[in-house]
Structure 1
Amino acid sequence: MFKYSSQTRVLVAVDCIIFGFDGTDYNLLMVNRGFSPEKEKWSLMGGFLKANESLDESANRILYELTGLENVFMEQMHTFSKPNRDPIERVVGVVYMALIDIKKYQHQPHDDFQARWFRMDQIPKLIFDHQEMVEMAFNRLRSKAAFHPILFELLPEKFTLPKLQTLYEKLFATKIDKRNFTRKLLSSKIIQKIEEKDKTASKKGAFYYTLNPSTYKENFQRTLNLIPKSEIPSLIE
């Protein structure tokens, strides 16, 4: 079989940054590394690209192995390629960002990774350049969420407007004008009210909403300014 001569082989790793929202805070799903180097330290979920799969296929396989979930929002984010980023040998890291409904995640019976959710403000020290990956991914999430309805991928099938507002306020670390936010959201027609209320916070309760599938898909790549720039303290570099 023909091969390129005089070329050094390089490993390709795929790392998945998996965000969830528990109704109050953003969380990151981490694993306890089971092998050296950096054994028993916290890491992103990842693995090496196999010879018979594409990068997207590898990322989907890794996500499924950890969460048991398929067909969730995931996109390739960045490639990390410093020659010394892995102390064992040359490894190029391709990073994917995934958004999942945290309530759908179930600890997998075959999970040997000791997976655990960490709040974003309580993430432990991570191996290699994984901290840099996480910071870049969270910034990317903020940047995209300012103009596209990407955060709905973190929500359960039905949700209330107060919970949705909390989702945005936590991401941008700011208070949002309720009336403007609700008006823009309802005028976009990407959500629809259902005749059911969440009464866990008050007797009056808050109506549940669900996504309008067709309108949501139409608006997913369009600019949808739910939050004025003046209410976003720092959009990402």
Structure 2
Amino acid sequence: MKKKTIIITRLIFGLFLFALGSVFAINAKIGVAPWDVFHQGVAKLTGITVGRANIYSGIIIFIIDIILGQDLGWGSIMNMILIGTFMDILMLNDLVPVFTGFTPKLIMLILGIIIQGLGCYFYISVGLGTGPRDGLMVALTKKTKRPVGIIKSSIDISVVTIGFILGGNLGIGTVIMAFFAGHIWQFIFKRLNFTISEIDHRFIQDDVRVLKEKFNKHQQGKEKTPQ
């Protein structure tokens, strides 16, 4: 029970950090990550919050992942729900400041990227599955047999284009995050001796299978018990 509590705590803390980093990038107001351009566009079109746009798009992507055969964990579901919820709490209560001047904005954006990287480390390292958007990238890579770089770039270009058309905040920050966020995250992971490919994820179907096995053993035990 203690081990499970630590795992869940690390997962939630990681998702909070990722949401905090996302809000830092948004409040920098010099352009945000590709998916957040999309979320902002959807929010402006529909009148919902950016956090809700994050959650609702995550649900749709979650369904697409399942259709494409991508394995998802409980962490994937919590990722879909909690990141958007945490973003709303932070933004609606003005818990993250907004600065004027390009230099403070740039520093804020870079801090956001670093915080997101730390968030990824905490929530992915628990091994309960990746987020719906990461799962989409993996699923399309498997289906198309194309390099992951091409798939990620195609997804990013698509969501940025749609988000910009809908009114999302596209700027130099978007370019910085597209080209440098991955390298910054890689540096953070290296310093923490963390390798994503070595994480053994536990998926929802694994727990379902265990429950079925326990149920079958229980039923067999009842049948063998003398009446």
- What's the TM-score once normalised by structure 2's chain length? 0.26
The higher-RCO structure (CA 8 Å, 6+ apart) is 2
Return the structure number with greater strand share.
Answer: 1
- What's the TM-score once normalised by structure 1's chain length? 0.26
